[in-house]
A and B are shown apart, each in its own frame.
Chain A
């Protein structure tokens, strides 16, 4: 039975939503150019960048799968967060790729690719980034809605039998679309800041309550009983091991280098040093990003029996929180999670809109757009992405496992784009042949693995390979294709 109270918790949520909308719409008058709309006029300073990056990279979907990791793998489930923090800190401190990228003054990664590999690679890279990103984002709304309804006390069977989830999340999406269309990246930054505060408040309060009322000993015992040493050490966990750690290190490094919403904070920074500092100083947040929800998942493991979450481990954490949190804190949690989801949605919409406008549409423009035309098209693209999300991610029910879906769609994009970026910045022989090869190879392996897993005849083979080795192979083959393609092209050939 959830402790959600409409007058108290509903009031807290209403107040938060009102403040967000007012702040988001209020800054629209500062948007006069496309550069203001897409990268906030490159006026973002350090602390705003930290707040924005942290808020963007933590959505309800993040909370759900990291808590599921904690529930299914114990404390070892927080390992990807540590790997991402290491990757982000090293990239920030060395300036690896992000320095030449920001120094070049481009608005998107494909724009940089054009300078080295030509317009065709820019266009194709834009398509791959948008496809991978939007398909990845497709599951955010439904998962977020499931969390919110489960915390409020709706049973999973009830959710699927009504349209509550769709109605709630459509209203939420329309609110986010409104301020993002009007204020672009400026609204995104200002609302991200507000959302960072609300989200952090909720995450901290809930975690402290869990420490106090569930207790460390009980959580430790639950992990020890269910998973033994594997619940504390990823290398001792039969579901993880070396391949899991290597795959996640590659994935998190590639995401830090090329995930459009992450890299956009570097591109929107007022200078290169600020962009690098955003990375180094936000790095430890990525440990918290995995650790805090993993603790919630472990607490659910300690407190629930399978009948309470219907056997679906994804639902265990929200069901637990719905029963565990008192009135008032419930409102803060839901406001925090709404904040997390809204900041992610708005940033993702503006990030992909930037790539569509800047890289995919540019070859079809006969003449340069005026600022007014540019703003119109940018806003129109944000609105179109919103409509796509509403139907693909909410009204169309995705089948299959969430993590596999996220992993496959992410790897299609990340493996090739990270290879292209590294080669573009540091390898003089890299050329368009290598770039095309890397994009093709980076996409073929994960898609091929997915197809092998779907066909009955090849299903055992896919199972024996596993998603982690297939993921590692995608990164390796993209790199090899870049080298072979670049070396095969006769020197002196244009492009």
Chain B
């Protein structure tokens, strides 16, 4: 019974955590891509200064 409860809780936590993290990573990841491409588009000497 304890093990059955463990798997039930783990299954629910997985779905809830995964749903939340998907939305969060989708928003934050978009800005990561934007800033990554901006840094790569900058000339080399400017890149070095930024780092």
Contacts and interface: CB of A to CB of B under 8 A. Distances in A.
Tell me what chain A mostly uses at the interface: helix, strand, loop, or mixed.
helix
A30 B35 contact: no
Interface in B26-47: 26, 28-33, 35-37, 39-41
B37 A50 contact: no
Contact of A208 (B15, B21, B22): B15
Contact of B10 (A44, A196, A291): A291
Contact of A284 (B3, B17, B36): B17
A295 B32 contact: no
A245 to B, nearest CB: 15
Interface stretch (A12-20, A103-111, A123-131, A197-205): A197-205
Interface string A262-292: 0000000000000000000000110110011
Interface residues of A, number: 41
Interface stretch (A94-102, A147-155, A185-193, A478-486): A185-193
A291 B40 contact: no
Contacts of B28: 46-47
Contacts of A232: 3-4, 6-7
Interface in A5-50: 27, 30, 36, 40-41, 43-48, 50
B33 A197 contact: no
Contacts of A229: 3
A27 B18 contact: no
Contacts of B35: 45
A287 B10 contact: yes
Contact of A40 (B18, B19, B21, B36): B36
Tell me what chain B mostly uses at the interface: helix, strand, loop, or mixed.
helix
A430 B27 CA distance: 45
B4 to A, nearest CB: 6
A201 B22 contact: yes
Contact of A47 (B6, B29, B40): B29
Given A287-B10, A295-B11, A48 B22 contact: no
B3 to A, nearest CB: 4
Contacts of B41: 30
Interface in A279-328: 284-285, 287-288, 291-292, 295
Contact of A197 (B8, B17, B26, B36): B26
Given A204-B15, A292-B18, A186 B25 contact: no
Task: Tell me which of B29, B30, B40 has the highest count of chain A C-beta atoms within 10 A of its own C-beta.
Answer: B29
19 contacts: A30-B40, A43-B40, A44-B36, A46-B28, A47-B24, A48-B29, A48-B32, A54-B25, A196-B25, A197-B22, A200-B18, A204-B15, A232-B4, A232-B7, A284-B17, A288-B17, A288-B18, A291-B10, A292-B14
Given A201-B22, A207-B15, 20 more contacts: A27-B37, A30-B41, A41-B40, A45-B32, A45-B36, A47-B31, A48-B29, A51-B25, A51-B29, A54-B25, A78-B7, A78-B10, A189-B33, A197-B22, A200-B18, A200-B22, A232-B7, A284-B17, A291-B11, A291-B14
Interface of B: 3-4, 6-8, 10-11, 14-15, 17-19, 21-22, 24-26, 28-33, 35-37, 39-41
